[in-house]
Amino acid sequence: MRKIILILASLSLLTNNSFGQNDNEKTDNLLLVKGVAIVKEIPEIISITINIKTESPNYKTCQEQMEKVIIKTKRIFVSSGISSELIKMNEIRVNEKIDYLKGERINNGFTGAASFGIESTFSTDFTNKLLTALKNDSITITYSIVFKLSESQKASVRQKAVELAIADAKEKAKLIANASNVVLLKINSIDYKNEDFGRDTEYDIISKDYWAYRDIRIGSGSRNESTEDLNPKEIGIQKSVQMKWIIKEK
């Protein structure tokens, strides 16, 4: 008889503990807080894409002209102090140039296009060499410039942003708990929010894993005065976490 009573008492204790735990974890006993952080860095990498074009009524001539322009353009960058190993070819193509007149398809010769990229660690010396090449009057090009965070910068910025977002969530939870006269018992869950929104570049904020900002320029040699400013601006990474706390009234 004594054994039965002890067993029943144990079951009753377990049941009460279970119900007590469930009471704490009810939806009305939870506090949900979102923490947000923005970390900014000056990018270490500069990357430029050079685009060139040619036209000719003949396919072979167009192709030959394109090859000559590529050689000439590369030579200008190398003579300006850019290592040939940094110049990477992206694509070369020759296409038919098609126009339409009163619904009729007309062949107007061929257009050639080529693109190559140059990427290096940003420095005043390197950008001065780029400027020298870009301002050369003997080439006509379009180009785009991208400043990127290096791989080590990406890892550092991501870690800092997540850590600060967690700290922000904890601080908010404490403030809300004190103002609401409740006690934070423990963290119920942490959700890494991957819903950050991209912001306008004027605010220097780029979300998620967009570790670069782009500056599009079009120019032909020294007539393009906008090439004078090749300086990186801060890139901001925004991260957020959502923390759920189990609470009780004081």
The closest alpha carbon to 163, from 129, 131, 187, 192, belongs to 192
The verdict on 39 and 154 lying in the same domain is yes
Amino acid (one-letter) located at 81? G
Same domain as 132, residue 75: yes
How far apart are the C-alpha atoms of 57 and 110, rounded to whole Å? 6
Of 125, 148, 171, the one marking the end of a domain is 148
Q: What is the pLDDT of residue 155?
A: 87
Check pLDDT > 50 for residue 248.
yes
Has residue 9 got a pLDDT over 70? no
pLDDT given at position 99: 79
Type of residue numbered 173: A
Residue 11 included in any domain:
no
Cβ burial, residue 39 (10 Å; 0-12/13-18/19+): buried
Q: In the predicted model, what is the mean pLDDT of the chain?
A: 79
**Tell me, what's the pLDDT at 76?**
95
Question: Which structural domain, as residue segments, surrounds residue 248?
Answer: 28-44+150-210+228-250
Confirm whether 18 is domain-assigned: no
Residue where one domain finishes, among candidates 148, 168, 195: 148
Q: Residue 180 maps to which CATH number? A: 3.30.110.170
The total domain count for the chain is 2
Q: What is the pLDDT of residues 136-160, one digit of tens each?
A: 888 888 888 888 888 899 889 889 9
Domain shared by 73 and 113, yes or no = yes
Given this model, what pLDDT does residue 100 score?
79
Percent of the chain past pLDDT 70, that is, above it, reads 74
Confirm whether 34 is domain-assigned.
Answer: yes
Residue range 27-71, pLDDT digits in tens: 569 999 999 888 888 899 999 999 999 999 999 999 999 999 999
In a shared domain, residues 73 and 156: no
- Determine how many CB atoms are found less than 10 A away from the CB of residue 229: 11
